Amino acid sequence: MSTVGRPLWDAQTSEEFIFGSYAALKGQETLVNQGILHRDMSPGNLYVGEPGCPEGWEGFVADLELTFVAKSVTKDKLVERPSEDGQVNQRYDFHEYSAESGSKAPGAENTGTALFMARELLDKMLPKRGTDQKSKKVVRPAEVERGVHHDLESFVLVLFYAAMKRGLESKAWHQHPDFHDITDLYHTLFSGHKIREIRNGRSALVNPVPDPLFRALDPPMFHLLYGCQILLARQYALSSTDPRADMMEQILQSSNDHKEQRVITYEDLYKVYNAVILTLSNS
């Protein structure tokens, strides 16, 4: 079947954006359940289907050139291991490490698009100076295992990018009193050229809550991005003082809530989408 579609930001309505990205998320999970990690969740790889497309093609993931296939899959063998972070797809041991200590140069690039790369991966790409200022010794980044939650963080970042790009190109947002603040936020998040700029700009999405953006969104898009913002703050181990978070926190209660840092899971993202779709059906 031909993968004909449009970039997510070209969605004509909020409903098309929501159902299209929801279908793409399910497609991404299908890959993971086959032991395939995409590793390049970026705006050019998430699409909404054309009007009148077959059911299930409301959105999809494209470009599998940078995927990583779990070794266990190539041997037709599943590796069973406890799911500590709540991911239902962790039957596969991807065993892929990024920025391996001692094997890669400091600041070595990871696979993917830096602007949408998970913050933990960006951290590992930044060389750090040792405590001995005279020697100026560079400390190699620590080893980090690349996992599903990194791709899901990238997916969430693409949602914010596409929603903001779509809004900033609309006439309605040009008349909004927060237009200039939203434009500044957009450039802070997605105009960095260096890894440190991108990594530092990421905080603008979680601390403080980006209220100018949320005020410009219609209710369904607000609920989608607000839920995603809470998931990002969780993954970054940041607590929220926003009173609006209480209702969404109740929706997002899951088995990994006892942890100080709770990684983004499909379960929690589906809870956000289900809550949003419910608002659509009640409108």
In a domain, 125, yes or no: no
In a domain, 189, yes or no: yes
- Asked if residue 208 has a cis previous peptide bond (ω within 30° of 0), the answer is yes
In a domain, 167, yes or no: yes
Q: How far apart are CA 95 and CA 104, in angstroms?
A: 17
- Whose tokens are 């970026």? That residue is 42
Residues forming a β-bridge with 98: 144
In a domain, 119, yes or no: no
Range of the domain at 208: 5-70+146-282
Q: What is the pTM of this model?
A: 0.80
In a domain, 244, yes or no: yes
CATH code, domain with 165? 1.10.510
In a domain, 230, yes or no: yes
In a domain, 100, yes or no: no
- Asked if residue 219 has a cis previous peptide bond (ω within 30° of 0), the answer is no
Residues forming a β-bridge with 25: none
Number of domains in the chain: 1
pLDDT in tens, the chain (283 residues): 445 789 999 999 999 999 999 999 999 999 999 888 888 899 999 999 988 888 888 999 998 777 777 765 443 433 333 344 445 444 455 555 554 433 344 444 467 789 999 999 998 888 765 555 555 555 555 566 788 999 999 999 999 999 999 999 999 999 999 999 999 999 999 999 899 999 999 999 998 899 999 999 999 999 999 999 999 999 998 655 555 655 555 565 654 444 445 899 999 999 999 999 988 887 6
**DSSP letter at 118?**
-
In a domain, 104, yes or no: no
Q: How far apart are CA 267 and CA 244, in angstroms?
A: 21
